[in-house]
Amino acid sequence: MAYKISDECISCGACADECPSGAISEGATQYEIDPDTCIDCGACEGVCPTSSISA
């Protein structure tokens, strides 16, 4: 199951820089994870300063 970003996202971009599959991109109001590209590695979750990413 792909990781998800909650509304607590502050659009800092730390997660996108860390994603090895390029599944994270800037959306209209916050960053978004493409569930078809996400490889469930969890790299993004560990770098999020607001803990807004979860599996």
pLDDT (tens digit, 9 = 90+) per residue, 2-47?
999 999 999 999 999 999 999 999 999 999 999 999 999 999 999 9
Classify the phi-psi angles of 26: left when phi > 0, otherwise alpha if psi is within -120 to 50, otherwise beta. Answer: beta
Structure tokens at 34: 């493409």
- Nearest-angstrom CA–CA distance, 40 and 14: 17
pLDDT band of 49, cuts 50, 70, 90: very high
Domains of the chain: 4-54 (3.30.70.20)
CA dist 9 → 15, 22, 30 (Å): 10, 18, 6
